[in-house]
Amino acid sequence: MTHPILETDRLQLREMTLADMGALASMLQDEKVMYAYNGAFDEAETLAWMQKQLLRYREHGFGLWGMFLKDTGEMIGQCGITMQEYKGAQVPEIGYLLAHKYWHKGYATEAATACREYGFHTLHFHALYSIIRDTNIASRNVALRNGMDLIDTIVKHYRGVDMSHWVFCVKNVRL
- Determine contact, residues 6/115, Cβ cutoff 8 Å: yes
Average pLDDT score over the chain? 94
Residue with the bigger pLDDT between 2 and 90: it is 90
What is the pTM (predicted TM-score) of this model? 0.93
DSSP letter string over the chain? Answer: -PPEEEE-SSEEEE---GGGHHHHHHHHT-TTTTGGGTS---HHHHHHHHHHHHHHHHHHS--EEEEEETTT--EEEEEEEEEEEETTEEEEEEEEEE-GGGTTSSHHHHHHHHHHHHHHHTS--SEEEEEEETT-HHHHHHHHHTT-EEEEEEEEEETTEEEEEEEEEEE-TT-
pLDDT computed for residue 159 by the predictor: 74
- Determine contact, residues 66/15, Cβ cutoff 8 Å: yes
User: pLDDT tier at 10 (50, 70, 90 boundaries)?
Assistant: very high
Mean pLDDT for 112-122 is 97
Rg (CA), the chain: 15
Spatial separation of the C-alpha atoms in residues 68 and 118, rounded to whole Å: 17
Percent of the chain with pLDDT over 70: 99
User: pLDDT tier at 1 (50, 70, 90 boundaries)?
Assistant: low
User: pLDDT tier at 148 (50, 70, 90 boundaries)?
Assistant: very high
All domains of the chain in start order, with CATH:
4-125 (3.40.630.30)
Strand ranges of the sheet holding 161-171, from the earlier edge strand across to the other edge: 4-7, 11-14, 64-69, 75-86, 89-98, 127-133, 161-171, 149-158
pLDDT computed for residue 140 by the predictor: 95
In the predicted model, is pLDDT for residue 160 greater than 90? no
